[in-house]
Amino acid sequence: DAGVTQSPTHLIKTRGQQVTLRCSPKSGHDTVSWYQQALGQGPQFIFQYYEEEERQRGNFPDRFSGHQYPNYSSELNVNALLLGDSALYLCASSLRGCHPSNQPQHFGDGTRLSIL
């Protein structure tokens, strides 16, 4: 039973470029959340997708956008990359259920994005 998988594992971009990160949720999960983790900090919530719609959003600019597909996989897109976007980007999946906050999140090992 595969857990959460993310691709690519590492990526190098330059300022102003655009990037797409991908996530496949754990089998049976229907909700995907994205996080940004700067070095030495805890993960920061970007947004959450359920039923192909963005349900919750953290304090991130519109340059950060996402998508969820019918098979529950998800993409994170970042436009006009800045040096400060260099971070580990984590995807987590969960089963929404009747009480979403009662559901554990399962994380992938992330995509390390470096901006030059």
Question: Where does this chain bind another protein (CB under 8 A)?
Answer: 4, 33, 35, 41-45, 56, 58, 90, 92, 101-102, 104-110
CB of 99 to another protein, least distance (A): 8
Q: Burial of 95 by CB count in 10 Å (0-12 exposed, 13-18 middle, 19+ buried)? A: middle
* Of 42 and 84, CB closest to another protein: 42
CB of 111 to another protein, least distance (A): 10
- Which phi and psi (to 5°) does residue 59 adopt? -85, 70
Residue where the block lists tokens 């995807």: 91
* Of 24 and 105, CB closest to another protein: 105
In 3D space, the residue among 88, 85, 90, 89 whose CA is nearest the CA of residue 115 turns out to be 85
* Of 80 and 105, CB closest to another protein: 105
CB of 34 to another protein, least distance (A): 11
Residue where the block lists tokens 């390390």: 112
Report the alpha-carbon distance of residue 15 to residue 37 in Å, rounded: 19
CB of 52 to another protein, least distance (A): 19
* Of 43 and 66, CB closest to another protein: 43
